Amino acid sequence: MTTRPAVGLLLLLSLMPPASAADAPAWGQYGGPTRDFALATPLPAAGKGVLWKRKLGPGTSGVVTDGKQLFTMYSVPDPKTPNRGEEVVVALDATTGETKWEHRYPVERLKGQETFSGDPVRPQATPAVLGDRVCAVGYAGKVTCLAAATGKVLWEVDLVKDYAAKPVQFGFSASPLVYEEAFILHVGGPKAALVALRPDGTVKWKSEPGEPSYASPVVARFGGEDQIVQVTQKAVVGFRASDGAVRWSYPMENPGLTNVPTPVPLPDGRLLVSGQGMVGTRLLKIEGQKATEVWKTKGKFFYCNALADDKAVYGVTDAALVAVSLADGRELWREAGQKDANLVRVGDEALVLRGDGLLTRGKLAPAGLERAAEVRLLKGRCWTPPTVLGGAIVVRDQAEVVAVDGAAFAKK
């Protein structure tokens, strides 16, 4: 988007998981198993360094895994015009990076859409894995479900043609959410805000209509009830996860499509939301069918994801990494030079992937970022969060994918 989507590119994947990570859940969707950008399993203390690298086409779609293969998306631009080309869903061998299968289909920019700085049409949403199936959302709203083992197309849905979704300016970016044996898709239009599709593609439920945005939905638990929280153009909305019924809504101060960050559910019925439409960051308290503002601040996590502990939330605003107190919204510290950085928590450590491909391993605390190691893994534009599983890190930009043993960057 002159903004860009919150979609995952850096991923920590268990290519050859150590014994301590053997039972770790697969990073099968944007933001990890529970979409909180965190895993409890720590990175190992020793490793080999770079495991493999390979070329890949344009895209800001993240890499996910079923524990055997890696899945992501990229585009093959038409050499005559950046407005069209092919989108590709690809499965990679986790240990070598070699292509296992590809599914290609034509894509063309829709009326009212554009690309960032004249870039070619490229996918932005991160695929999601559910059992033996992979669901991928393309730039123009085409949804494809494929067999994870073979790439066979099992079903397809067009969000614009089938659900009257409004084509967002810089392309569909909301990543599918896996919940209770269904893919939850952000539609954004007069037929539905969200739709839940079973693994066979049939509709489990549709919500009431709602506006689009670039943000991805997340599961949160309020009052003993699972809800799907979605940021739209005009509001933050809680939908009952079992049937899509609206439970509460909190209006935006400045309605706009450039709402990108994934909301951050917190204990005790709290929810942190941030973005341009919020005109900053808000901590909300959700009780029954009411969302009440606890505090607000002008600083916003405009493009990138955020991490929270019991005292602070950490994210990037104005090209600086900041820590904000969860108690009252005060800024606790600020570190400049972290433009477009996204974050992942691994055990008690954090991985910070800067937008220019610099990866930092260390600890986030209310007192600051404690660095253990840093390495530049990519040269191109990195716009999405890390993903984690076991001891390996897979980093992707607009030109290539690099897999590296996370232990190689531990403090010596």
User: Could you give the CA distance from residue 201 to residue 292 in angstroms, rounded to a whole number?
Assistant: 36
User: Could you give the CA distance from residue 18 to residue 250 in angstroms, rounded to a whole number?
Assistant: 44
Q: Taking the C-alpha atoms of 366, 371, 374 and 379 in order, what is their torsion angle to the nearest 10 degrees?
A: 20
Range 128-150 average pLDDT: 97
User: Could you give the CA distance from residue 363 to residue 374 in angstroms, rounded to a whole number?
Assistant: 12
Residue 1 lies in a domain: no
CATH of the domain at 88: 2.130.10.10
Judge whether residue 384 has pLDDT over 90.
no
Query: Which pair of structure tokens corresponds to residue 51?
Result: 């495991």
Please state the domain count of the chain: 1
- Binned at pLDDT 50, 70 and 90, residue 389 comes out as low
Query: Which pair of structure tokens corresponds to residue 100?
Result: 């296992």
Cα–chain-centroid distance for residue 353? 14
C-alpha R_g of the chain: 19
Residue 5 lies in a domain: no
Query: Which pair of structure tokens corresponds to residue 187?
Result: 């539609």
User: Could you give the CA distance from residue 37 to residue 392 in angstroms, rounded to a whole number?
Assistant: 15
19-28, 285-294, 297-306: range with highest mean pLDDT = 285-294
88-102, 359-373, 390-404: range with highest mean pLDDT = 88-102
Range 253-278 average pLDDT: 83
**CB neighbours of 347 closer than 8 A, spacing ≥ 6?**
39, 40, 41, 42, 43
Q: What is the pLDDT of residue 159?
A: 97
**Taking a C-beta distance cutoff of 8 angstroms, is the pair 339, 321 a contact?**
no
What would the pLDDT profile of 186-219 be if each residue is shown by its tens digit?
Answer: 999 999 999 999 999 999 999 999 999 899 999 9
**Taking a C-beta distance cutoff of 8 angstroms, is the pair 134, 149 a contact?**
no
Residue 255 lies in a domain: yes
DSSP for 7-67, please give it.
----EEE-SS--GGGTTPPP--STTTTTTSSEESSPPPS---SEEEEEE--S--PPPEESS
Q: Provide the edge-to-edge strand list for the sheet that holds 270-275.
A: 264-266, 270-275, 280-287, 290-297
DSSP for 167-236, please give it.
--TT---PPPEE-SSSEEEE--BSS-SEEEE-TTS-EEEE---B---SPPPEEEEETTEEEEEEE-SSEE
Judge whether residue 276 has pLDDT over 80.
no
Range 292-314 average pLDDT: 88
**Taking a C-beta distance cutoff of 8 angstroms, is the pair 106, 124 a contact?**
no
What would the pLDDT profile of 27-52 be if each residue is shown by its tens digit?
Answer: 999 999 999 998 887 876 656 678 88
User: Could you give the CA distance from residue 4 to residue 355 in angstroms, rounded to a whole number?
Assistant: 12
User: Could you give the CA distance from residue 23 to residue 401 in angstroms, rounded to a whole number?
Assistant: 25
User: Could you give the CA distance from residue 389 to residue 391 in angstroms, rounded to a whole number?
Assistant: 6
Judge whether residue 249 has pLDDT over 60.
yes
User: Could you give the CA distance from residue 21 to residue 88 in angstroms, rounded to a whole number?
Assistant: 31
Is the torsion defined by CA of 81, 152, 124, 395 positive or negative? negative
Q: Taking the C-alpha atoms of 95, 123, 58 and 155 in order, what is their torsion angle to the nearest 10 degrees?
A: 50
- Binned at pLDDT 50, 70 and 90, residue 279 comes out as confident
Judge whether residue 228 has pLDDT over 70.
yes
Cα 347–353–355 angle (5° rounding)?
A: 165
Residue 323 lies in a domain: yes
Nearest C-alpha neighbor of 65 from the set 4, 7, 123, 24: 24
Q: Quote the domain boundaries for residue 67.
A: 11-409
What would the pLDDT profile of 286-299 be if each residue is shown by its tens digit?
Answer: 999 999 999 999 88
Terminal Cα-to-Cα distance of the chain (whole angstroms): 40
Residue 318 lies in a domain: yes
Judge whether residue 386 has pLDDT over 80.
no
Cα 316–321–325 angle (5° rounding)?
A: 90
Residue 272 lies in a domain: yes
User: Could you give the CA distance from residue 77 to residue 119 in angstroms, rounded to a whole number?
Assistant: 10
Name the region of 326 (left: φ>0; alpha: ψ -120 to 50; beta: rest). Answer: alpha
Distances in whole angstroms, Cα of residue 316 to Cα of each of 189, 341, 353, 385:
30, 6, 11, 12
